[in-house]
Amino acid sequence: MKYTEYEAIVIGAGHAGCESALALARTGINTLMLTLNLDSIGYLACNPSIGGTAKGHLVCEIDALGGEMGVNADKTALQIRMLNLGKGPAVHSLRAQADKVEYHTEMKKTLENQKNLTIKQGEVVEILAENGKITGVKTAVGDEFTCKAVCICTGVYLKSNIIIGSFTEPTGPNGFKRANYLTDSLRKLGFEIFRFKTGTPTRIYFNSVDTSKLEPQYGDENIQTFSFMTKKQPKNKALCYLCYTNQKTHKIILDNLDKSPMYNGLITGTGPRYCPSIETKVVRFADKERHQLFLEPESLSTQETYVQGLSTSLPTDIQLEMLNSIEGLEHAKIMRDAYAIEYDCINSLQLLPTLEYKNVKGLFTAGQINGTSGYEEAGAQGLIAGINASLYIRNKPQLVLKRSDAYIGVLIDDLVTKGTHEPYRMMTSRAEYRLHLRQDNADIRLTEIGRQVGLVDDKRYKVFKTKMKNIEKAKQELKITLSPTKELNEYLTSIGEREVNCGVSVENLLKRPKVDIFELKNRFNLFSKYHNDVLNQVQLQVKYDGYIKKQLMEIEEAKKLEDFTIPTNIDYNSILGLRLEARQKLSEIKPLNLGQASRISGVSPADISVLTIYIKSKIKS
């Protein structure tokens, strides 16, 4: 039995584990990362993509705070697109097809070369704690490692089962071994354990697809990247393709529902509401004649192609029959069968907003163990858990991002205040302040915070400060007055805007819906010194000025509740006027402030009024 000292230990090397370990090591903490298999580091076990609706926001925020996911996604992108361009900027979301082989390779290389970080293959079977504080971990081979803080980032590997038809195998994704014993240790520490389920579609040979029958999906050129440090625009190196299920496909599914583990009782875990299996989609949306499927390349080094939208756990023969019923896939051959996976996770209501476990000091959890789904949600939590574990070790105040600070704040607040009884997925509709929390201004919102906690280095901070100076300089050109020239009026007429008959400021022109700052730059020699990211900020701030100001006023109003802290030793059962349900929920969650308390399910506005009066009376006395 070996005893080795570290300051912090990260369990797991998925997207949460990678961000946790890097955050700890980059802030000077001597860190050990333990993983079941070194080949699973940063592995894209499900879809070969990073970002998407709301998820792109998370990746940009991870980057702005000094994390790695955005850097790695830009570096390994096969195709990059901006989703929702037909809608307002609040919901524009970046998505990249990543080369899954390169993504793993580059992330592993980054971790291996990170100062203060040691990576080791090994299965953690027990979390060691004394007197309510973390002391270390124990592995399956009997090694013990002492530490002051632990970040548990185990993904879907806790007692995971792969399910295909009637076949069940105790293993993790893609044949990686599962964690067999850690759940028992978590239970002993007082964690409540849930059983969740997710799944992944088939992978097929790309050369068995008839692409002439499919709709090609192209990437975008010259758009925002995930990382604010990326200088070279990623090139689009591959195509995706769109195809559709049909009535024949749906009949095959409906005729074989009795063989689906989702419907015959073999699967008992709770599945994701917003990323359902194809069986669920066909049953739930019986009026739909077809469902979209996207063929997405996994890597330039393989024929494997991911069939986005065809998640299933039906038997393999039904999977092939279903696949071959789709136009363009009549002769498609399966390389990897689709499967469902069940796994253990914890009740996230047992966590503080710092992602520290309420019952054990120095124990943090992040990612799918907290009940979320998705690489981006995992990476965001991993970063915050790593930051707070580092701050805990350094005896510094913990970081809690508010809902008005970031999508990461919304994500974590939802988990620790409302909890989740199904795999949680981030969506733009979950954020109250979407116009303020755009992905393009993530650096403006969060880089200073990353700097304060020690994660934003000098190079990144210099880039940020230069950008901020340039935005202010570019704004000065808004005051320039343009004369009502023939050239200006021809431009306005061409875009459907009314002509001007006197001088007009650039700012007032930009307030017109169809006037574009980049067109003004090209046609009238304005803003010539500034990069597109600077001009994009100026344009958005001008066009949405009134809406942004209104939202900032709402944030200030809500801040009053967030700043009203609740004493940690408060006895809710002794407060007269609080309803029984409110007493129970408040006692369980122990909110840090009135804002958090007001978002707890079962706590009414009347309860908040009673609680406010009670706390104020105690303060006065």
3-state SS, 457-520, equals: CHHHHHHHHHHHHHHHHHHHHHHCEECCCHHHHHHHHHCCCCCCCCCEEHHHHHCCCCCCHHHH
pLDDT (0 to 100) of residue 621: 63
d(CA 572, CA 76): 52
pLDDT (0 to 100) of residue 264: 73
d(CA 389, CA 355): 9
Percent of all residues in the chain with a pLDDT value above 90, rounded to a whole number: 92
d(CA 300, CA 303): 8
Cβ–Cβ under 8 Å, residues 119 and 112 = yes
Using DSSP's 3-state secondary structure scheme, residue 127 falls into: strand
d(CA 95, CA 308): 14
Indicate the DSSP class of residue 568. Answer: T
CA nearest neighbour of 206 among 214, 194, 198, 197: 214
CA nearest neighbour of 55 among 392, 482, 373, 460: 373
d(CA 210, CA 323): 13
Which secondary structure element, helix H or strand E, spans residue 148, and what is its range? Answer: none
pLDDT (0 to 100) of residue 274: 65
Indicate the DSSP class of residue 266. Answer: S
pLDDT (0 to 100) of residue 1: 63
Question: Who's near 105: CB < 8 A, 6+ residues apart?
Answer: none
Cβ–Cβ under 8 Å, residues 568 and 601 = no
Which stretches of the chain score pLDDT less than 50? none
pLDDT (0 to 100) of residue 618: 79
Residue with tokens 């069939």: 307
Residue with tokens 């459907």: 496
Question: What contacts 24+ positions apart, CB below 8 Å, involve 511-517?
Answer: 511/542, 511/543, 511/545, 513/543
Tokens of 355: 């992602």
